[in-house]
């Protein structure tokens, strides 16, 4: 079964590559750069110092956003999930916040935080924090009530209860929330850079889009997809280790 799955992954990869090449052959350079050209472009970009500066800008904003979103989201989820009433009150509000197009609010973020890196971080946090809160909160609601009762019998303080009882019990769901939040924080930071920034990968994408440079667009897309897939695989591996 394991070998089978790897063959499947390779097959899907090859099919995607074929579709890509076919689109290039039909539409020409103006639609899509060919896979070979993209690989060459990516290779030359990886050897370019200014490209790494942009990667560093994006990574910095992303890591900062992810840490704030994870700590904030999980703590907020813990706080709201402990009581049935507060989670019932907050649930629909959070789901609605999750599904509004947050791009709409980007001008507000820019007006509050200015045009610098803090606006990008804030925008990443806005995207990533809510799913983590929702996952954590729902996980506590579905936890076996006996855990909380035991904590009360042992007279644990709320902080002790959260740290030694609740968090270990809901770790798998928290990790799924962090996986989703990871993707969305990256998306938020990139969209922020695409709309208003003069650094970072999002800025590179927008400037490549404006001049129709499909090689750069595809090279960054491949890089981002590789990064997202690798990180997801690592997070999945990690969550299997801690919560089999």
Q: Is 9 in the site for other proteins (CB under 8 A)?
A: yes
Q: How far is the CB of 153 from other proteins (least distance, A)?
A: 28
Are 30 and 209 in contact by the 8 Å Cβ rule? The answer is no
Residues 116-175 that bind other proteins (CB under 8 A): none
Member of 232, 238, 240, 242 binding other proteins (CB under 8 A) = 232
Q: How far is the CB of 157 from other proteins (least distance, A)?
A: 26
Q: Is 209 in the site for other proteins (CB under 8 A)?
A: yes
Could you give the CA distance from residue 129 to residue 23 in angstroms, rounded to a whole number? 37
Could you give the CA distance from residue 161 to residue 113 in angstroms, rounded to a whole number? 36
CA distances from 43 to 85, 216, 226 (A): 55, 11, 14
Which among 47, 56, 48, 42 has a CA at the least distance from the CA of 199? 56
In the bound state with other proteins, the residue whose beta carbon lies nearer, of 151 and 184, is 184
Are 188 and 124 in contact by the 8 Å Cβ rule? The answer is yes
Length of the chain: 244
CA distances from 152 to 30, 162, 164, 194 (A): 66, 12, 12, 50
Q: Which of the ranges 63-71, 73-81, 143-151, 225-233 carries the binding residues for other proteins, by CB under 8 A?
A: 225-233
Could you give the CA distance from residue 219 to residue 203 in angstroms, rounded to a whole number? 14
Residues 50-109 that bind other proteins (CB under 8 A): 85, 88-89, 92-93, 95-96, 98-108
Q: Is 241 in the site for other proteins (CB under 8 A)?
A: no
Q: Is 237 in the site for other proteins (CB under 8 A)?
A: no
Binding site for other proteins (CB under 8 A): 1, 4-9, 11-12, 23, 27, 30-32, 85, 88-89, 92-93, 95-96, 98-108, 110-112, 179-180, 182-184, 186-187, 190-191, 194-195, 202, 205-206, 209, 212, 214, 217, 220-221, 224-225, 227-229, 231-233, 236
């Amino acid at each position: 079964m394991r070998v089978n799955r790897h063959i499947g992954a390779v097959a899907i990869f090859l099919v995607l590559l074929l579709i890509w090449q076919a689109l290039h052959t039909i539409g020409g350079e103006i639609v899509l750069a060919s896979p070979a050209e993209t690989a060459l472009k990516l290779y030359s970009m990886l050897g370019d110092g200014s490209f790494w500066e942009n990667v560093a800008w994006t990574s910095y904003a992303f890591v900062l956003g992810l840490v704030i979103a994870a700590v904030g989201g999980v703590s907020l989820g813990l706080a709201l999930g402990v009581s049935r009433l507060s989670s019932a009150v907050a649930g629909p509000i959070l789901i609605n916040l999750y599904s509004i197009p947050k791009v709409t609010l980007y001008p507000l973020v820019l007006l509050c935080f200015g045009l610098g890196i803090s606006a990008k971080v804030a925008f990443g946090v806005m995207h990533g924090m809510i799913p983590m809160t929702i996952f954590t909160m729902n996980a506590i609601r579905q936890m076996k009530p006996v855990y909380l009762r035991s904590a009360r019998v042992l007279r644990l303080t709320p902080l002790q209860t959260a740290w030694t009882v609740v968090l270990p019990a809901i770790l798998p769901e928290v990790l799924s929330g962090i996986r989703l939040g990871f993707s969305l924080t990256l998306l938020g930071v990139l969209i922020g850079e695409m709309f208003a920034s003069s650094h970072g990968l999002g800025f590179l994408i927008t400037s490549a889009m404006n001049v129709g440079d499909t090689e750069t667009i595809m090279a960054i897309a491949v890089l981002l997809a590789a990064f997202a897939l690798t990180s997801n695989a690592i997070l999945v591996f990690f969550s299997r280790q801690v919560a089999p």
